[in-house]
Amino acid sequence: MAPEVAHEAAEFDYEELPETSTLAMHLVAGAAAGIMEHSVMYPVDIVKTRMQVLAPAGATAAYGGVTQALRTIWTTEGMRTLWRGVTSVVLGAGPAHAVYFATYEQTKKILTMDGQQQSALAAGAAGGAATVVSDALMNPFDVVKQRMQLANSTHRSILSCARTILQTEGLRAFYVSYPTTLVMSMPFQTIQFGCYDMFRRALNPTNSYSPVTHVAAGGMAGAVAALLTTPIDCCKTLLQTRGASTNQEVRAASSIAQAARIIFRHQGLSGFMRGARPRVIANMPATAISWTTYEYFKWVIARRESRSQA
């Protein structure tokens, strides 16, 4: 086969990376995707966190919408506040997403043995398995990030924030929300990966490299997953920010069940959907960016491998 023909075939089959692809290739692609995903939409994530935090009794909602919230934070606290804590995300997202996508690729291969065509179910299951590993790395960074996102946060660096949490609440504070994070992330990632695979195949039956397809499929998958898992995210936020609360009941919460009871008692059923809009708004482009970045790296890797083998 001529080099040009081999090159075209590699581009067509880029979704299946060559057997010579190393774990490092998956790690680099995953790390780049994770950093891009979390940093670009960070200001909207701050709005989501503040909307979900349980307000003191008698307090009125601080923000009426995403745009109004961004404007209020910008004018009253300064533009830098919209990016406070982003360093924690970047430091955690790199290794967490590197492991995430590497685990996803390996698990997907195992679930589609004997050359069987990959299915949305296999992709979803692989995404769920990858979540268990990546969340273990990301959870402490996420706790620090949310503490720094609060309106009353006095921390100006992730080190000072992490040190304060460790000294006042102990090591357990970094992982008290881990079970809840898994309860949320498992269905989130399973839904996201399954929907992405389904949307991608529907929009691009030839399975060729198509950035437009990856953006559209990633955005739709992220929106669906974000909306359906918002109630669990509300419980996670309560547990991760409990140390900064003045409510003793919140400070004593240590499980998703306790968090759910507190939210229901203070805010009713509507409390479980607080922050849904900014969560969807943040996850649509973030997931689209993540998948597009990752698919691009896979395409580059496959093309480079095909050239070296030609």
Report the sign of the C-alpha dihedral through residues 97, 98, 99, 100, in that order. positive
pTM above 0.75, yes or no: no
Q: Can you list the alpha helix ranges (DSSP code H) found in the chain?
A: 3-12, 23-40, 42-52, 66-77, 86-111, 120-149, 158-169, 178-203, 211-228, 230-240, 248-252, 256-267, 276-309
* pLDDT exceeds cutoff 90 at 262: yes
Least-confidence region, from 71-85, 91-105, 208-222: 91-105
| Straight-line distance from the first to the last Cα atom of the chain, in angstroms, rounded to the nearest whole number | 8
Is residue 95 within 8 Å of 33, Cβ to Cβ?
no
With H, G, I as helix, E, B as strand and everything else as coil, classify residue 36: helix
- R_g (Cα) of the chain, nearest Å: 21
- The pLDDT assigned to 227 comes to 95
pLDDT digits (tens, 9 = 90+) for 108-162: 878 876 555 556 677 778 877 888 888 888 999 999 999 999 887 888 899 999 9
Task: For domain 32-301, give the CATH number.
Answer: 1.50.40.10
pLDDT digits (tens, 9 = 90+) for 10-69: 343 445 544 555 666 667 766 777 777 777 788 888 989 888 887 654 444 567 788 888
Query: Quick one: DSSP state of residue 251?
Result: H
CA atoms of 130 and 172, how far apart (whole Å)? 23
More reliable by pLDDT, 112 or 176: 176
CA atoms of 97 and 23, how far apart (whole Å)? 13
Amino acid making up residue 262: I
CA atoms of 224 and 261, how far apart (whole Å)? 25
pLDDT digits (tens, 9 = 90+) for 184-199: 888 887 888 889 989 9
Mean pLDDT of the residues in the chain: 82
